[in-house]
Structure 1
């Protein structure tokens, strides 16, 4: 069924209802002063702050963020390192004297009391339990909560409206070149094959723009299955989007007979999205994923026609 702009408005309304009704999994806090000093202990919340026009004063693993998350605006060089995402440096955090600390429940629940003694602290859970929520809706809910606390409600709403417009435009582009409902698989080389399932935010984004995920692996909370080469023949008729830090994984497969026999290899339906396409991010990364996928498919279609 072609995805029209009208249908996208309906999808947006349903998404908003889902956000409103989903289980609250974060620690709520009152609003903080304008122009707050905020520390982000997870990359997605660095992105969210930047989308709201707030430069975080402290970030966990700045080098990793700059390598894997390519969005605008950029993180300023004056941001201070506060340890790793797994083990934040509590002393460095305390020295900054922030107004707000934002972390993720999975990693930072054990140090919540210490963090909250330093500053108001928000902990989010971006991965709802299976059948208990939607990762894309949860991302939007968490984003709006950060906007609320930072007194950026109108900015947050505008960012999400822009994201939905980007999705609608992407869907219209695919429909115009008759690629709506095209089968796809999204893979991340780590270096194994990490195939994303229907409950992942990345797949939900690509589904919203009109594509169809054909990897039907068992749903896991984080939204992907780690598999071997033997799993790929069953999905060889798909468009194969992949994210790899280097070309080494593909180079190792060049002499592999099973890999070379796959339809998406033989028919050149392999699309590199770039290592800096962050599929665990916020609304800006979501737009980039949609735009890159559409660009890859339309470029391939044009090449086949020429």
Structure 2
């Protein structure tokens, strides 16, 4: 996850009053000139020979809500980037997404078709924009059935599918569940199963590539950060974080334990993500562990600021050239395609 992430939007409290005002306003909304249903589907779908189901859909989403559709959804509005990526991976172009500019900046695994309608921000969508697109399904991320945004959307007459974006008990399993649930709603389960099989094969091939890398017992910490008003903030990826789980799957040993987190972490992040805000001095607690840090590739970012810091420069991993920049533009909170990119990033570093 790079300097700016969906976590900032998720942990900030959105004003339900502001959303409601947008929903009941009289703003004129223009439908984009591009017909996304007719646009080319994702290049990752080139090998798709499966057939889209036409049967009615009745499914239980991750919050235990029943979602029923007369037929699989075709005109989909998506309000979270992981779900946008998943819809594209399933060979369907959403008619509208929240913050398409941000998606195209931070997510590279799946390209959003040009002209996809902008329906506002992820934490505060524009209801007029959503309903003007005449969707047959809205996909939103929520962690509970009483989520304010979810409840507001449920007041409309369009079916709403809720996904849970993170689960520290098993991030990869949760990523797969989100993907399969969306696939079912789109009638794309056959292709969805093939994509998940491709993910498993990709991970197995990466393990084979790293078989001779002598990773047993190699401790590591993945971090990201951001600059705000010139101040550096850092997040440690601990037990239950997605990037930590990926590294462990490839043979590394996570060093940021719950004990370290209790002593050095400042919290401030939804526990479901397994992340904790820390300061640079806290990194001295990891001893000689390898450090892998997110880098968005820009000229001035949290990574370049870190390298100017004397505490950072004194860390064993830095002094011994075992602090590695992760490849830029890999979305660390995405679906199968982003996670395959992340696996490749680890392989590039570790091999």
213, 218, 227: which one pairs with 2:278?
A: 227
**8 Å CA contact retained: 1:97, 1:118:** no
312, 336, 342: which one pairs with 1:259?
A: 312
CA 1:253/1:282 → structure 2, altered by over 3 Å: closer, same or farther?
Answer: closer
Aligned to 1:11: none
Aligned to 1:153: 189
In the alignment, structure 1 residue 238 sits paired with structure 2 residue 289: yes
**8 Å CA contact retained: 1:194, 1:226:** yes
What secondary structure does 2:66 align onto? coil
Which deviates further from its counterpart, 77-86 or 189-198? 189-198
Q: CA deviation at 1:297?
A: 1.8
In the alignment, structure 1 residue 111 sits paired with structure 2 residue 149: yes
Give the Cα–Cα distance (whole angstroms) in 1 for the partners of residues 282 and 149 of structure 2.
40
Q: CA deviation at 1:61?
A: 0.4
Aligned to 1:82: 119
**8 Å CA contact retained: 1:190, 1:244:** no
Q: Deviations over 1:95-144 (max 9, x none)?
A: 0010111011149932334424241111122234x6xx422212211211
Correspondences of 1:121-140 after superposition (within 5 Å): 121-128=160-167, 133-140=169-176
| Uncovered stretches (5+) of structure 2, i.e. residues with no partner | 1-60, 228-232, 263-270
Higher helix share: 1
Aligned length, in residue pairs: 272
Q: CA deviation at 1:181?
A: 4.4
Give the Cα–Cα distance (whole angstroms) in 1 for the partners of residues 172 and 302 of structure 2.
29
What secondary structure does 1:103 align onto? strand
Q: Deviations over 1:215-243 (max 9, x none)?
A: 11438332111111111122242221111
Q: CA deviation at 1:268?
A: 1.4
- Scaled by the length of structure 2, the TM-score of the pair is 0.72
**8 Å CA contact retained: 1:38, 1:98:** yes
Q: Deviations over 1:136-194 (max 9, x none)?
A: 21221121111111111111111111111111111111112323443211111124110
CA RMSD between the two structures: 2.2
Correspondences of 1:1-306 after superposition (within 5 Å): 24-31=62-69, 33-34=71-72, 36-72=74-110, 74-106=111-143, 109-116=147-154, 117-128=156-167, 133-191=169-227, 192-216=233-257, 217-218=260-261, 220-245=271-296, 246=298, 247-298=300-351
**8 Å CA contact retained: 2:75, 2:135:** yes
What secondary structure does 1:204 align onto? helix
What secondary structure does 1:159 align onto? helix
Give the Cα–Cα distance (whole angstroms) in 2 for the partners of residues 248 and 35 of structure 1.
40
Give the Cα–Cα distance (whole angstroms) in 2 for the partners of residues 254 and 75 of structure 1.
34
Give the Cα–Cα distance (whole angstroms) in 1 for the partners of residues 336 and 196 of structure 2.
7
CA 1:88/1:189 → structure 2, altered by over 3 Å: closer, same or farther?
Answer: same
**8 Å CA contact retained: 1:35, 1:54:** no
